[in-house]
Structure 1
Amino acid sequence: MKKNNLVTKSNDLIEMPLKMSVVELRIIYVLISIISPEDQEFQRYRFKISEFAKLAGVKNKNIYAQVKEYTLNLMSHPFYINENLQVNWLASAEYFPNEGIIEVEFSPKLKPYLLQLKEKFTSFRLNDILKLKSAYSMRIYELLKQYEKLGQRTLKVQRLKELLGIEDQYPVYSDFKKRVITKAQQEINKSTDIEFSYVERKSGRKVDEIVFTIKTKAKQNVTILPATEAVSSVQTHTAHRLSDRLKKEFGLTTITIQTILKAYEKDYITEILDIVKIDVLSGRVHDIPAYTVAALKNDYRKKKTELDMELERQHTLKLEKEQKSQLQQQYYAAVAEKLNQYIIAMSEEQLNIEVQAMLHSVADKDIEIIITDVRDPQLMSGGYFRQYLNKKYFSDYTFDVFMLDITKA
Structure 2
Amino acid sequence: MKKKGELIAVRPDKVIEARFALTSRQNDILDMLFTQIQDDHNVEYCIDINKYKMLYNIKDKNNIYGDLKKAVKSFEGKGFLMVDKEKNEEIYYPWFSKIQYKNKEGKILLKIDSELKTMFLEVKKRIYYHIKYTLNFSCIYSKRFYYYLKSYEDTGWRIDNLDALRDKLQCPKSYKKYSDFRRFALEPAHVEINNNSDIKFKYEEVKSGNKVTALKFSIKSSKCEEIAIDKDLEITDVQTIFSENITPIEARRLLDVASGNIELIKEKYKLSSNQGEIKNIVGWVIKAIKDNYNTETKQTRFNDYEQRTYDFDVLEKKLLGLK
- Normalising by structure 2, we get a TM-score of 0.64
Q: Give 1 or 2: higher helix fraction.
A: 1
1:328 aligns with 2:283: no
Contact 2:56 2:135 (8 Å CA) reproduced: no
1:210 aligned residue: 215
Structure 1's 189 and 104: CA in aligned 2 closer, same or farther, altered over 3 A?
same
1:246 aligned residue: none
Structure 1's 93 and 77: CA in aligned 2 closer, same or farther, altered over 3 A?
same
1:148 aligns with 2:146: no
1:75 aligns with 2:76: yes
1:357 aligned residue: none
Contact 2:43 2:117 (8 Å CA) reproduced: no
RMSD: 3.9
1:170 aligns with 2:175: yes
1:162 Cα deviation (Å)? 0.8
Letter in 1 for 2:74: N
- Normalising by structure 1, we get a TM-score of 0.52
Contact 1:195 1:215 (8 Å CA) reproduced: yes
1:206 Cα deviation (Å)? 2.3
Structure 1's 328 and 189: CA in aligned 2 closer, same or farther, altered over 3 A?
same
1:125 aligned residue: 130
Contact 2:127 2:151 (8 Å CA) reproduced: yes
Q: Tell me the secondary structure at the aligned position of residue 84 of structure 1.
A: strand
How many residues align structurally?
252
Contact 2:56 2:136 (8 Å CA) reproduced: no
1:105 aligned residue: 111
Contact 2:25 2:67 (8 Å CA) reproduced: no
1:25 Cα deviation (Å)? 0.4
Structure 1's 198 and 7: CA in aligned 2 closer, same or farther, altered over 3 A?
same
2:92 aligned residue: 86
Q: Tell me the secondary structure at the aligned position of residue 213 of structure 1.
A: strand
Percent identity of paired positions between Structure 1 and Structure 2: 25
1:31 aligned residue: 33
Bigger Rg over Cα: 1
Structure 1's 377 and 140: CA in aligned 2 closer, same or farther, altered over 3 A?
closer
For 1:237-279, what per-residue CA distance to the aligned partner results, in whole angstroms no more than 9, with x for missing partners?
xxxxxxxxxxxxxxxxxxxxxxxxxxxxxxxxxxxxxxxxxxx
Unaligned runs of 5+ in 1: 221-280, 283-315, 342-375, 387-409
Q: Tell me the secondary structure at the aligned position of residue 86 of structure 1.
A: strand
Q: Tell me the secondary structure at the aligned position of residue 170 of structure 1.
A: helix
1:41 aligns with 2:41: yes
1:100 Cα deviation (Å)? 4.5
Q: Give 1 or 2: higher strand fraction.
A: 2
1:128 Cα deviation (Å)? 2.9
State the distance in 2 between where 1:115 and 1:65 align: 30
1:21 aligns with 2:27: no
State the distance in 2 between where 1:76 and 1:16 align: 18
Contact 2:268 2:289 (8 Å CA) reproduced: no
State the distance in 2 between where 1:377 and 1:12 align: 22
1:149 Cα deviation (Å)? 2.1
State the distance in 2 between where 1:102 and 1:6 align: 19
Structure 1's 168 and 113: CA in aligned 2 closer, same or farther, altered over 3 A?
farther
1:167 Cα deviation (Å)? 5.1
State the distance in 1 between where 2:46 and 2:92 align: 26
1:197 aligned residue: 202
Unaligned runs of 5+ in 2: 84-88, 239-259, 276-287, 298-323
State the distance in 2 between where 1:132 and 1:168 align: 23
